[in-house]
Amino acid sequence: MELKGKVALITGAASGIGKSTALLFAKNGASVLLTDIDVEKGEKLAEEIKASGGKAVFVKADTSQPKDSENSVKEVLSHFGKLDIAVNNAGIGGEQLPVGEYGIESWNKVIGINLSGVFYGMRYQIPAMLKNGKASIINVASILGSVGFSNSAAYVAAKHGVVGLTKTAALEYSAKGIRINSVGPAFIRTPLLDNLDKDVLEQLVSVHPIGRLGEPEEVAELFMWLAGDRSSFATGAYYPVDGGYLAQ
């Protein structure tokens, strides 16, 4: 029960990495507020956690909308009284086109969710956390927050931005008790990969030295460490969990 007595807010919690994180945090004693645009899956997950003896509330939220991020924090304070941990996880992939052909609407949507959504989250999470004297924020970047990837301009730009935003916020708030880190997963078996055909998936496997894609539960374990007191001296850092991808 490493997170017993802690309260966590997790965005994009209805599936993939967010879902695995919510289950792991709840199993380890945290009360969790789950947000997502998928109401059916989000409510189902909250019920699953409660059926297992945990504490969970689901709130519909679109991270690209500042008011939704503000409301999520209001809801977590209303239900649980405080906020100790935030996992800013919600994200989308966007179009697969070169820069000279990339759709403006798609660009704005990816940046709005994947980058602005992280800023909006922290914008409202941090004031609530300052009242605690100690808290942890985990921003989900990607291996593509460190390197480029053809035909994914908006995603790569957004994830690079998340890494820089995380470092800046950590400089501003670490001395005030809020540790802020980013995590760079490689290609993980989540719904983001559902639309890829078999040949593309095999190609993705081949670029990971470990010889496979990652599992959401493996990423959640790193979040678990960053969320708890074992990582008390870790802040302002970027942690890949990538099967060796960035070592190449």
Q: What is the set of active-site residues?
A: 155
Question: Could you give the CA distance from residue 119 to residue 232 in angstroms, rounded to a whole number?
Answer: 23
Question: Could you give the CA distance from residue 72 to residue 124 in angstroms, rounded to a whole number?
Answer: 9
What single letter denotes the amino acid at residue 220?
A
212 Cβ partners below 8 Å, 6+ apart?
205, 243
11: phi then psi, degrees, rounded to nearest 5: -90, 155
Question: Could you give the CA distance from residue 216 to residue 218 in angstroms, rounded to a whole number?
Answer: 5
What single letter denotes the amino acid at residue 25?
F
Contact 78, 88 (CB under 8 A): no
Which residues partner with 139 through β-bridges?
88, 182
Q: Which two structure tokens, joined as six digits, stand for 164?
A: 């820089």
Q: Name the CA dihedral angle for 81, 87, 88, 90, rounded to a multiple of 10 degrees.
A: -110
DSSP-derived pairing of the beta strands 135-140 and 55-60: unpaired
C-alpha R_g of the chain: 17
